Amino acid sequence: MHLEPNAYRELHWHQEGEWSLILNGSVRVSAVNEAGQTFADDLQAGDVWFFPPGVPHSIQAFGDGVEFLLIFDNGEFSEDDTFLVSELFQRNPKSVLAKDLRVDVSAFDNIPDSQLYIFPGTPAPANISAQNSTGPGGVIPREHTYSYHFSQQKPYEVPGGSVKILDSTSFPAAVDFAVALFTIQPGAMRELHWHTVSDEWDYFISGQGRVTVYSAPSSSRTFDFQAGDTGYVPVVTAHYLENTGDTDLVYLEVLQSSAYNDVSVAQWLGLTPRQVVKDHLGFSEDTLDRLPQIKPFILPGDKNLLQTNFTAENE
């Protein structure tokens, strides 16, 4: 979703949980929960928010505008089912609204006659405290806050790229959302792996890549992706993701799980008794010696995708 400078995404709520990654720009978000506790935060590219089902919230872009990815925890979600404050006021008698807000019905003479959805607004004050509207309920406790400054998390760097992982252990509000943001260098690949408890949804932010998915008993299929594409891999289905371009491949892995997890094929074999692996796959002693006991996550490679010998890097 894209908001022009100072524009609002109308005050709204959903039946589903809303998770978002800011792709570029900056934004102010706010919310009020069922206990009357308030939340407000300023976020930038790379940061994340999550609003639980039913929690009403607002989103306003700053002067540079904002673009963000929205992910919902229900595959049947439709944006058309979003609950909007403008429609709430349209669908109730003005006499009821007046009674509810303790005003005269004339207070509603200027309410919009159709949904706003996205609309221009006045610039938000630079100092977020100027919009402080905290009531007796106070603010939402930090451990349950609806935002996470993912942009400030230090990535785990390995040969071939890096990864940043975020799940409910570090962002408790986002129940059953676990993500990994991968940066794969040209020629490198996200190692062969699968996930044990969730399907995997992918969003490709930049670059291009290739994935082969293996499914039992005897089928596989290869897909090519580029920036803006989405991918899907069923739970426990083995796959890799290779950077086939000349620039970094950046993509988001999303799991519906409280904790991010995967099974690394290389680590699995490296931690399995050597004779068992040799009997199954006929590996030489040299190949067995090269199997890792630590999960690689990413494996380096050459831009020349015709390369087939990778033994030199460990010698």
The CATH number assigned to the domain holding 129 equals 2.60.120.10
Length of the chain: 315
Predicted pLDDT at 218: 87
Residues 242, 108 within the same domain: no
In a shared domain, residues 144 and 164:
no
> Taking the CA of residue 309 as centre, how many other CA atoms within 13 Å lie in the half-sphere pointing to its CB?
3
pLDDT of residue 311: 86
Q: Distance from CA of residue 148 to its chain's centroid? A: 11
Cα distance between residue 160 and residue 302, in whole Å: 10
For residues 107 and 186, membership in a common domain is answered with: no
**Ranges of H-type helices in the chain:** 85-90, 94-101, 265-270, 274-281, 285-290
Q: Which of 120, 148, 176 is the last residue of a domain?
A: 148
255 and 296, same domain (yes or no): yes
What is the per-residue pLDDT for 314? Answer: 54
| Domain carrying residue 83 | 2-148
E-assigned strands of 101-256? 118-119, 147-148, 156-158, 161-166, 178-184, 189-194, 200-206, 208-215, 219-226, 230-233, 238-243, 249-255
Domain endpoint, select from 96, 118, 148: 148
101 and 204 in a single domain? The answer is: no
Full DSSP string of 211-232: EEEEETTTEEEEEEEETT-EEE
User: Do 180 and 287 reside in the same domain of the chain?
Assistant: yes
Same domain, residue pair 23 and 93 = yes
Question: Which residues are identified as catalytic?
Answer: 253
- Which residue do the tokens 């004050």 mark? 125
Q: Pick the last residue of a domain from 122, 148, 174.
A: 148
Tell whether 182 and 221 lie within a shared domain. Answer: yes
Rounded Cα distance, 35 and 126, in Å = 28
For 73-139, list the strands marked E by DSSP: 83-84, 118-119
d(CA 180, CA 182): 6
Give the phi and the psi of residue 72 in degrees, each rounded to 5: -115, 155
Q: Quickly count: other Cβ atoms within 10 Å of residue 168's Cβ.
A: 17
**Within a 10 A sphere around the Cβ of 249, how many other Cβ atoms?**
28
**Residue 71 token pair:** 């992910």
Residue-level pLDDT at 310: 87
Number of domains in the chain: 2
Q: What is the Cα–Cα distance from 188 to 149, expressed in whole angstroms?
A: 28
Q: How far apart are CA 67 and CA 73, in angstroms?
A: 20
- Taking the C-alpha atoms of residue 279 and residue 186, their distance in angstroms, rounded to an integer, is 35
110 and 188 co-located in one domain: no
Which amino acid is present at 214? Y
| 10-residue averages of pLDDT along the chain (315 residues) | 95 96 97 96 97 96 95 90 95 96 96 92 91 89 93 97 96 95 97 97 97 93 96 96 97 97 97 97 96 96 84 65
Q: Are 27 and 100 in the same domain?
A: yes
